[in-house]
Every structure is written in C-alpha cells, then in structure tokens.
Amino acid sequence: MSKIDTICVQGGYKPANGEPRQVPIVQSTTFKYDTSEDMGKLFDLEASGYFYTRLQNPTNDHVAAKICQLEGGTAAMLTSSGQAANFFSVFNIAGEGDHIVSSSAIYGGTYNLFAHTMKRMGIDFTFVAPDASDEEIEAAFRPETKAVFGETLSNPSLAVLDIERFARHAHAHGVPLIVDNTFPTPVNCRPFEWGADIVTHSTTKYLDGHGAAVGGCIVDSGKFDWTKYPDKFPGLCTPDESYHGVVYTERFGLAGAFITKATAQLMRDFGSIQSPQNAFLLNLGLESLHVRMKRHCENAEAVAEFLAGDDRVAWVTYCGLPGDKYHELAKKYLPGGSCGVVSFGVKGGRKAAENFMKHLKVFAIETHVADARSCCLHPASATHRQMNDDELRAAGVSPDLVRMSVGIEDAADLIADIDQALAAAVR
C-alpha cells in the first residue's frame, strides 16, 4: 500500500479478524494492568503500551500513523492544535539561549508564538523573506541556531517555499528544516522528498476539512542525524534525567528519537493532547482528503481565472496562475495543484471590498479557511481592523484584499456568486 489515495482511505489502521472496521474511539483516560511491574516498564519507556491518554491513546496513534504514511515519515504524533504542533516542533530541540531562522511568510499565529511568546522563553528568531537571496539567508545563521522553519505555501500570503534551497542552508549549518505543510497537504506536496526533516500540520484545515475539529500533527522523516551534532542537540543525544537516563537517539534510533522525546517530555509536561473523539473526526476527513483536495484546486483555479479576467478586479494572487510571483516554484513543488485559497483586490479599495463582502450569498464570512464550504474574509475590516491603510500595507495586507477559501461546491455557483457581488460593489 503505497499510493496516497489508498493511504488516505486505509492507512494507519488494520483491523484483525472480527475487529471494528472503523477506527475505534478509545474514550478512556487510563489503561489497566495486572502488575505494577508491567506498568513500571511503560513508565521507564522499556515497553511500549498505553497508560494515560495525555501521553498516548490508541485512536490518536492510528490517525497519527496514517498522516505519517501520507508524508512518508518514520514517526508522528497528534497535538491539540496546529499551534501546539509548531511550538513542540521547535521547543523539542531549542531552549533558552538558542536561535531559529524562520521564513517571514508564515501564519500570524505562528509569528506571534515565535516573535513574542517563545522569545520570552529565551529563544530568538530571525525572520527572512522566502525569496531572500542565499547571502541573506546565510547571514541569518548564528552558532546557536537550532533549526530553520517555513511554510510550504504560506497562510495567508500564498508564497511558495523553495524547500530544497532552505534545506540546503539548514543542512550546511547542521540543523533540520521544519516545514508547516498545512495548506498543500501531503496530497499536493511531500516536503520530505525535497529535503525537509520535520513536517507539521494544523489538521484543523484540509486534513479535517469539515470545520469540525481543531488539531495538529508533527511528523519526523527520521533522516536528520542528530548524533552528528551531539553538542547542538543534547536533549536527543545525552541522558534524560526525567526518564532514568534514557538517551533518545540510542534507545529509539533516528526513526523514533524526535517524536518519542516530544511525547515523553513535552506532552507529559504541557499536555496539549488531541481528544480521541477529535482524532476520529480527523480520520473521517482524511478518508476523502485526496478527493477533496483535487476538487478544491479545480474550483480555486476556475475562480482565480475568472477573477484574473475581470476588470472589476485589481489583482489576483494564486500560484497556479501563470504570471504569479510563485508560479515557477509552484510548478516544481505543487505540480498537481496548490490549495483552495485565493486572494484578490476589489477595484475601488476598502469601501468596495466591504460592499463586495455584504453581497455574497454562497461564500460565508469567516476567519477560517480550508473546509468543504466556501468562505471569505476582508482582513482590513475584520482581523486587521485596528490598522489604518498605511499600517495595513506595511503588514502586506492591502485595504482592498479579500481572502477566499474556495470549497468543493459547484464552481459555476461560486463564480456566479462572486460575479453578482462584484456587480453590486463595483460601479
């Protein structure tokens, strides 16, 4: 079983004779053992098994295993949200006094986490533009740099990360490349094939795909050799006193060290677990991911082409469009399609964009993106409403910008809705 479509439907869970066909929801906080010795071995990480759902739960493990197979990784874990996944992915290898190089084209929540909250924990970040020159990227590294971070396709700016180029810089400095692959999903891009070492997801978006459950996931490629740089990664290469001196890379190998450490230490201490119920819902979404992504991309392309050819529209950003700034990188990394998110400017600026939003009937106004239903947002009057026009432009959000998340309805209905709203808004 190696094709993505088959893994979406059947990966991660193989019922034995007479067992439930669907992944069972193990709605139990705890697990029973016959002897204290049995349980002791689990606590010492000497045997694998379940004892408390904060650390591991069978439902979550089946669903994590499916995402792991989809990405082509060696180990994976679910988290309560995408925020928790990105936090753990960095904090698992960086601490006070350390430094991270990050693409500046990242989700606003991730930017806040890095630039403010993790900075208060003593971790410093240098942000570089995804299209920065090699010299600029090189200049961002320091001796205490522990990782490079970027988004395959950035939310909301839709910049495509040159994964091979960022991986080359990271590896030249002996550090891993962490890639948030939320927008393309493994159906449209598998960052490990281009040299990324760790992949994260907000499963809240297309992986769930129905706007039903907030969640996250971390996948390890197993390819980064931590043991070559034991001084840089002591947490993985030297004894963990909180687990009787276990050395993660020795006990679990390169395939398992990163995720085992993140589970044993970070999940134990921060407790950002995904509920088994949410993992079940996530898995239902994953079963149709390959079918939905294809339709999201077809519809978004039709919408982007309609917008690009309409003179009531000032500009369109969609990397599938020839002439888009990231079209060439998209052809390399996202040959089968990017995602359903398209942004564009309504002619007439802020007022016209506000009017356009008022007249939409099929697209709903939401801060969310990436589920089956089409939705849209005018950041200048919603998420960024405290900013004036100059501040908006400085943040890369123009006053006329409308972000659309194109769903899997009939494209003709979506285009007709946009057409009538433009007719009412732009005169």
Ligand X SMILES: *Cc1c(COP(=O)(O)O)cnc(C)c1O
Binding site for ligand X (CB under 6 A): 81-83, 86, 107, 109-110, 151, 155, 180, 182, 202, 204-205, 214, 216
* Smallest separation (angstroms) from ligand X to the CB of 145: 22
Nearer to ligand X, 202 or 343 (CB): 202
* Smallest separation (angstroms) from ligand X to the CB of 182: 4
HSE, CB side, 13 Å, CA atoms: give it for residue 318.
Answer: 31
Nearer to ligand X, 103 or 260 (CB): 103
**N-terminal to C-terminal alpha carbon distance within the chain:** 55
* Smallest separation (angstroms) from ligand X to the CB of 361: 26
Nearer to ligand X, 52 or 111 (CB): 111
* Smallest separation (angstroms) from ligand X to the CB of 338: 13
Closest to 103 in 3D by CA, of 134, 124, 83, 129: 129
Pairing of strands 401-405, 341-346: antiparallel
Nearer to ligand X, 170 or 339 (CB): 339
Nearer to ligand X, 161 or 415 (CB): 161
* Smallest separation (angstroms) from ligand X to the CB of 374: 17
CA distance 86 to 107: 11
HSE, CB side, 13 Å, CA atoms: give it for residue 208.
Answer: 29
Q: Which residue is nearest to ligand X (CB)?
A: 82
- Cite the DSSP H helix spans in 92-190: 108-112, 119-120, 134-140, 163-172, 185-188
Q: Contact 246/240 with Cβ under 8 angstroms?
A: yes
3-class state of residue 318 by DSSP: coil
Nearer to ligand X, 312 or 403 (CB): 403
Question: Phi-psi bin for 22: left (phi > 0), alpha (psi -120 to 50), beta?
Answer: beta
* Smallest separation (angstroms) from ligand X to the CB of 87: 10
* Smallest separation (angstroms) from ligand X to the CB of 157: 11
Residue with tokens 């089956």: 372
Facing residues of 100 across strands?
A: 125, 147
CA distance 395 to 62: 40
Nearer to ligand X, 161 or 425 (CB): 161
